[in-house]
Amino acid sequence: MTAPKPFASTEQPRILVTGGNGFLGREVLATLQRRGYTRVFAPRSTEYDLTQQDRISACLDTVQPDVIVHLAAVVGGIGANRAHPGSFFYQNLVMGAQLMEQARLRAVQKFVAIGTICAYPKFTPVPFKEDDLWLGYPEETNAPYGLAKKMLLVQAQAYRAEYGFQAVYLLPVNLYGPGDNFHPDSSHVIPALIKKCVDAVATGAPEIAVWGTGTATREFLYVRDAAEGIVAAMERYDDPDPVNLGSSVEISIKDLVTLIAELTGFTGTLRFDPSQPDGQPRRKLDTSRAQERFGWHSTTDFRSGLEHTIAWYRAHRSDGATAPAATPDRAAVSV
């Protein structure tokens, strides 16, 4: 393992966070603030469309970052991935490739690229180890998105080998927490299930529908833990190897929805719909590399994290606690 290059001791680095207005981005900004960073910039996608090279150049020329934390992405659950595979692939690929290239041309000191658990092969041995990323093709419903984000790893390693560009690549597992996207068209499984259960309690609905058979398993990481891991890697990691960020806790969708029903007070019927896809059969990460390389591990208990998330949704439900649905023309939807 190579020693990380320290930031200048006499002056704080200028840090550009793309996707800083998104679910994960807001937590990363809060974590940077807690750690005393004051020169942090997070322009909105309406200011700088990262699919357009001239807007990327304008952004970098304005901010002049020493460090880039690239979180911006077009994201969504299984439904959104199935509806927009082409736009998800193109927009995520072009954002990452152009941003890293322009960062290299400007000699940015460090680039922290955020990948996705969807990059792993559909039948990766459990627990997922970073060295298994190339064992096969990703699960079909989210393969275009996963492969587009996976190219960030290829680019980071290639640029390091040819140009000595200091780029690292992180693979966070499914995130959840307060401030998540609860929009029914684009939300991931935890906010979707929380919304269904809380809304059913409020309306007295006798049942809720759950996609799939319930047998698929997932691992979830509390968003604040993920942000802490990203900042830790920014500060202390400088190897070409990809790094998993997860909780190492695996739960089936059936057990997950049962737990969410319990925590929300929903006592009706849970109706699974096997005509809808389960997605990848199992997800559970080996997170030992993060602990070994830069001393990070998750700290939030899953039940407590769900309670905080449910409380946030209930408090903001009347305010329309959703994010806009993912659509092909939203070029830089924040993570």
**């400088």: which residue's tokens?**
238
Taking every pair of C-alpha atoms in the chain, what is the biggest distance, in angstroms?
Answer: 62
* Half-sphere exposure for 72 (CA within 13 Å, toward CB): 31
Whether 285 contacts 220, CB under 8 Å? no
CB–CB of 142/188 below 8 Å? no
Closest CA to 115 of 138, 135, 145, 85: 145
Question: How many Cβ atoms are within 10 Å of 176's Cβ, its own excluded?
Answer: 23
* Interatomic CA distance for residues 322 and 85, integer angstroms: 22
Rounded-to-integer distance, Cα 198 and Cα 213, Å? 22
Task: For residues 289 and 129, give the distance between their C-alpha atoms in angstroms, rounded to a whole number.
Answer: 9
Place of tokens 């200011």: 47
Strand ranges across the sheet with 110-114: 40-41, 15-18, 67-70, 110-114, 167-172, 243-245
Alpha-carbon distances, residue 158 vs 25, 117, 188 (angstroms): 26, 21, 32
Catalytic residue chosen out of the listed positions 48, 120, 145, 237? 145
Residues composing the chain = 335
> Is 145 annotated as catalytic?
yes
Q: Transcribe 175-240 into DSSP letters.
A: EE-TT----TTT--HHHHHHHHHHHHHHHT-SEEEEEB-S--EEEEEEHHHHHHHHHHHHHH---S
- Within 8 A by CB and 6+ apart from 50, the residues are 18, 56, 59, 72, 95, 98, 99, 331, 332
| Residues labelled catalytic | 145
